[in-house]
């Protein structure tokens, strides 16, 4: 049984690699868009029915306009680089939802929500472009499917370990289960999540620049986010996201590159 599990796991690792066109990196993904998107779209629709969607306001319209502008920039880049069919199956949708939560999120396939609570921090269109660029990037990089795949591997390895210790004492099995759970969460899953957030930042700043928004506004947004939190946050080691300070540093370093690339694609001025 253990040999079968190992063989299946190795086979999955071999066949489930795909290349992220924006980074050139190999990514692990067991879940196809055709499998994932219909469920994600259904869950998105259910969320909208159960929450207060803001319509008919300038803010709601701006969320849609900026999101569409960034998605169009992504399509332009993909087409120019030989990935014209990459977005097949995506159905971009952007909604502003009334909530004090300072947050925005994206479901697989391009279903995005921005909470009204983040608008005082975005402040203007360029600030909103930072947020939406990041969320569009999550969708483009298939981060949802990657998280599902990573979780499957975590469960698979845990099962294999439990089987290997099936002849040991109950105490030994409990120690393994606890150590494995904490170890993989802190040492694997949380760093994996932080890496995805950093990747979305890196792709997002490129997209906002290609859409004509000033990439130097990206670190400024996170300066405002840091000020909003008062500097207090969960230690980065125990968080799903990089710290605000890490993001400020990374985005500051990435801004010149994003500007240069956007100019190569014909962007002559940037909206601040």
| Ranges of each domain in the chain | 2-264
Reported as a pLDDT band with limits 50, 70 and 90, residue 144 is low
Is 135 marked active-site? yes
Reported as a pLDDT band with limits 50, 70 and 90, residue 145 is low
Q: What is the mean pLDDT of residues 22-51?
A: 85
What is the chain's mean pLDDT, rounded?
Answer: 80
Higher pLDDT, 183 or 42: 42
Q: What is the mean pLDDT of residues 124-150?
A: 85
Q: Tell me, what's the pLDDT at 272?
A: 86
State the Cα–Cα distance between residues 240 and 242, nearest whole angstrom.
7
Q: Tell me, what's the pLDDT at 71?
A: 96
Q: SS in 3 state form for the chain?
A: CHHHHHHHHHHHHHHCEEECCCCCCEEECCCCHHHHHHHHHHHHHHHHHHCCEECCCHHHHHHHHHHHHHHHHHHHHHHHCCCCCCCCCCCCEEEEECCCCCCEEEECCCEEEEEHHHHHHHCCHHHHHHHHHHHHHHHHCCHHHHHHHHHHHHHHHHHHHHHHCCCCCHHHHHHHHHHHHHHHHHHHHHHHHHHHHHHHHHHHHHHHHHCCECCCHHHHHHHHHHHHHCCCCCCHHHCCCCCHHHHHHHHHHHHHHHHHHHHHCCCCCCEC
Reported as a pLDDT band with limits 50, 70 and 90, residue 181 is very low
Q: What is the mean pLDDT of residues 101-120?
A: 93
pTM for the model stands at: 0.78
Q: Catalytic pick from 93, 135, 197, 259?
A: 135
Residue 18: pLDDT above 50? yes
Q: In the chain, count of helices (H) and strands (E)?
A: 10, 6
Q: Which of 21-30, 131-140, 214-223 has the lowest mean pLDDT?
A: 21-30
Residue 30: pLDDT above 50? yes
Q: Tell me, what's the pLDDT at 244?
A: 87
Residue 182: pLDDT above 50? no
Residue 226: pLDDT above 80? yes
Residue 178: pLDDT above 60? no
Percent of the chain at pLDDT > 90 equals: 55
């Amino acid at each position: 049984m253990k040999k079968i599990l190992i063989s299946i796991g190795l086979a999955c690792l071999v066949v489930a690699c795909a290349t992220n066109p924006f980074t050139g990196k190999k990514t692990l993904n067991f879940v196809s868009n055709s499998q994932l998107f219909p469920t994600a779209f259904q869950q998105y629709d259910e969320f909208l029915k159960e929450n207060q969607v803001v319509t008919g306001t300038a803010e709601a319209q701006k969320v849609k306009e900026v999101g569409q502008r960034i998605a169009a920039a992504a399509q332009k880049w993909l087409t120019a680089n030989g990935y014209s069919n990459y977005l097949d199956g995506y159905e971009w949708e952007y909604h502003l939802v009334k909530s004090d939560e300072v947050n925005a999120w994206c479901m697989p396939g391009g279903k995005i929500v921005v909470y009204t609570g983040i608008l005082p921090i975005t402040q203007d269109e360029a600030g909103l472009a930072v947020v939406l660029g990041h969320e569009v990037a999550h969708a483009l990089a298939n981060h949802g499917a990657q998280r599902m795949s990573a979780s499957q591997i975590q469960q698979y390895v845990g099962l294999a370990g439990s089987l290997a210790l099936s002849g040991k004492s109950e105490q030994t099995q409990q120690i393994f289960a606890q150590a494995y759970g904490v170890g993989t969460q802190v040492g694997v899953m949380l760093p994996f999540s932080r890496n995805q957030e950093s990747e979305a930042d890196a792709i997002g700043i490129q997209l906002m620049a290609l859409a004509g928004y000033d990439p130097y506004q990206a670190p400024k947004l996170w300066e405002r986010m840091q000020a909003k939190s008062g500097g207090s946050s969960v230690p980065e080691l125990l968080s799903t996201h990089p710290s605000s300070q890490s993001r400020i540093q990374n985005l500051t370093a990435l801004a010149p590159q994003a500007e240069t690339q956007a100019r190569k694609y014909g962007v002559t001025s940037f909206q601040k």
